Chain A
């Protein structure tokens, strides 16, 4: 006789059954269970262990990896303030403090009645309409003191988030400059028809002729990637759309998925026709949870239209369908092999490479992983030809690029430019004044000072995934770099020693400078540590974690020197602070129980 089922059991069984008792859906299962139950409690893990027949070490390994999965109780209302530098510049911390004070709690705490928990999270991709937050996975934009007070009231009255004023959840596209891609009049199905008319070889030829390069930032040639995957031996081939847009300051994919979803799915379908894939995945970052239902509606319509499913557009044997997987707060999953691990329901740890995903990706089968924007471009190339496309941009960087512009400018939003546009032109167009610096391609990118504003956005000069954050003369570039070091430490997967330990050491050193304990010795130390990170790290996250600091040291050295206030080394170790436990135990707090500055 089986034990009577608990509530947790019922909830888990229903979800696990819907996913076909398949542990590769572990992340999706955990996410859905949490949406119903609030957090992943020990009895949930018991039920999952029984239902999925996997050891709990594997379940806890995954549940503990993703920021948005909770293995400890959280508030009924889980409030996460987006903490990108652009949110900081818009005053997110004052708003967070206001809200925390309202509930009488501190950042990171759950209120004693379990009603609310308040914390920060990495950039939520709303930089052009921040400060932003997530409440129970729903994105709220344009926060101000008034809106915060309203939110506090709604939480106190326990109004379900679905019944909050819809204006809170308004997310606008803010398309400021449209070029061929964003202006394109497009009818669902016509790019697939064009691709099928060209045939698999012909379509691949057009992609190669277009010289299209990946828009995730690395710039690998899309045609070559598709060809390598098509030619790789495997029982199945897969198409993955990387919509884990996590680079701080980027939000173009959010706009494409909101208003151009047909082209995204159509691009995936064209890729499938070339590489012979039957299944595709769109890996959507957890911050864009609110897009899941609208995207599923588009997928359902496309199935009705014969653009997905069996015999697409009547072509016998062309069977392909797409499912959406949600991430759960892990920037590192934007790295393609970590993304594939996550798709397989595991911790998002980058794989050892080679082999590369084109030969051994999802379930170790040949897999193409393409950026959202790249896939849209393949739709245009199918219809208008590779040669037409190659005429735009520069010879090495053909076509156009979407930029997500935020920070100190009059018109933040989405700008589409042919490759080769100068930084100065972009700054003029977005209404930026007294610019001190531009951070291009996010925290992992480059920091450009005014003497470099003549440089071009192109793979051969400044390659970018699209993030473009503007800082005017009033901004402190040390604070910018410090924000990014916190970001990398928070997002380090923890697999390799240099990144796991090094990013946290770097945070402590930057915080030490910030606390007024810096000396020239710390400055040397920071530079040395960054060298180790760059040389030894396992993946791009660790390699680029040193960029913001090294770039700002090279270009904005005074911002650091202001903080090197001591001539001689000052320890970071707080001797007096370390006696706090002893004071508490002895119930003493008199002057003699403290080590003051005068003792040093």
Chain B
């Protein structure tokens, strides 16, 4: 008689996040498992629909003595993961502050205000000032596309548009060029203008910008300030499902 094959069911694979038991399926990253279990980890360059990149480092957690991006680290049985602690709040806050001073983020005049992940994450972290001296970089605004405005002042170099255009849309409309602090978003045309690319409103890349760098035209302030996504509740209390829909 054949022996029954012993298969570990899902709940048998677990790690702990701040002392809470988190189930996972092998192959899941820490952030995926945590979100599926209804826990919040801040992130900016991650997107549930796309391959993780691990560049913004805002989702950093602590495992043992190591600080590690939870979006690129596979969950393993028995891991003890620390997230909700003073040291991690401080580290993550410093990253968000760095992103604010690196670009030109004028929230009060930005169309994305209230829907912006960078702004919402900063509010949620109780960021009071950008702390670091501003770089005030000179970055271009590109209004050449009939339906979209590309304002790289607000770009945080998360590369979500790059990955979406390449991996989902199959277009390679966006890329990152330059190096170090001079890293910059480029588009796929000889003129360097978005209007000369095949970028369109149906592209996944048109929907993934966490900040206000890629904005649809003629939709300005259709939803008034005060009634926007993160006006309703802080980013940390959105459920994983709700965040996936944003």
Determine which of B54, B98, B186 lies in contact with A501 in the assembled complex, contact meaning CB atoms within 8 Å.
B98
Determine which of B56, B133, B179, B189 lies in contact with A505 in the assembled complex, contact meaning CB atoms within 8 Å.
B133
Assess A494 versus B190: contact at CB under 8 Å? Given A57-B174, A501-B99: no
Complex Cα distance, B102 from A508, in Å, reads: 13
Q: Can you offer 7 A-B residue contacts whose CB atoms are under 8 A?
A: A57-B186, A64-B177, A352-B69, A500-B183, A504-B181, A532-B95, A538-B54
Residues of chain B with a CB closer than 8 A to A431's CB = none
State whether the Cβ of B135 lies closer than 8 Å to any Cβ in chain A: yes
- CB of A279, distance to nearest CB on chain B (Å): 28
How big is the A interface, by class?
Answer: 35 or more
- Type the 1/0 row for B37-71, where 1 means its CB is closer than 8 Å to any CB of A: 00000000000000010111110100000010100
Complex Cα distance, B162 from A228, in Å, reads: 34
Complex Cα distance, B184 from A496, in Å, reads: 13
Contact B180 A503 (CB under 8 A): yes
State whether the Cβ of B19 lies closer than 8 Å to any Cβ in chain A: no
Nearest CB in chain A to that of B58: its residue: A497
Residues of chain A with a CB closer than 8 A to B69's CB = 352, 538
Residues of chain B with a CB closer than 8 A to A57's CB = 162, 172-175, 177, 186-188
Residues of chain B with a CB closer than 8 A to A535's CB = 60, 67, 91
Complex Cα distance, B22 from A391, in Å, reads: 51
Determine which of A63, A489, A505 lies in contact with B132 in the assembled complex, contact meaning CB atoms within 8 Å.
A505
- Type the 1/0 row for B152-165, where 1 means its CB is closer than 8 Å to any CB of A: 00000100001000
Determine which of A42, A489, A508 lies in contact with B133 in the assembled complex, contact meaning CB atoms within 8 Å.
A508
- Type the 1/0 row for A564-583, where 1 means its CB is closer than 8 Å to any CB of B: 00000001110000000000
State whether the Cβ of A408 lies closer than 8 Å to any Cβ in chain B: no
Chain A positions within 8 Å of B, measured between CB atoms, are 42, 45-46, 55-58, 60-61, 63-67, 330, 347, 352, 489-498, 500-505, 508, 532, 535-538, 571-573
State whether the Cβ of B226 lies closer than 8 Å to any Cβ in chain A: no
Residues of chain A with a CB closer than 8 A to B179's CB = 64-67, 330, 347, 492-494
Complex Cα distance, B182 from A573, in Å, reads: 20
- CB of B169, distance to nearest CB on chain A (Å): 12
Interface centre among A45, A492, A535 (most CB of B within 10 A): A535
Complex Cα distance, B67 from A248, in Å, reads: 28
Determine which of A58, A66, A498 lies in contact with B95 in the assembled complex, contact meaning CB atoms within 8 Å.
A498
Nearest CB in chain A to that of B187: its residue: A57
State whether the Cβ of B200 lies closer than 8 Å to any Cβ in chain A: no
- CB of B184, distance to nearest CB on chain A (Å): 8
Residues of chain B with a CB closer than 8 A to A501's CB = 98-99, 101-102, 132, 181
Nearest CB in chain A to that of B191: its residue: A42
Contact B175 A494 (CB under 8 A): no
Complex Cα distance, B91 from A537, in Å, reads: 11
Complex Cα distance, B173 from A76, in Å, reads: 33
Interface centre among B183, B184, B186 (most CB of A within 10 A): B183
Assess A573 versus B181: contact at CB under 8 Å? Given A532-B94, A538-B57: no
Contact A63 B98 (CB under 8 A): no
Contact B181 A498 (CB under 8 A): no
State whether the Cβ of B72 lies closer than 8 Å to any Cβ in chain A: yes
Contact B180 A491 (CB under 8 A): yes
Interface centre among B94, B134, B188 (most CB of A within 10 A): B94
Given contacts A57-B186, A535-B91, 18 further A-B contacts (CB under 8 A): A55-B172, A57-B175, A57-B177, A60-B177, A64-B184, A347-B176, A493-B180, A494-B182, A497-B57, A500-B102, A501-B98, A502-B98, A505-B133, A536-B57, A537-B57, A538-B54, A538-B57, A573-B133
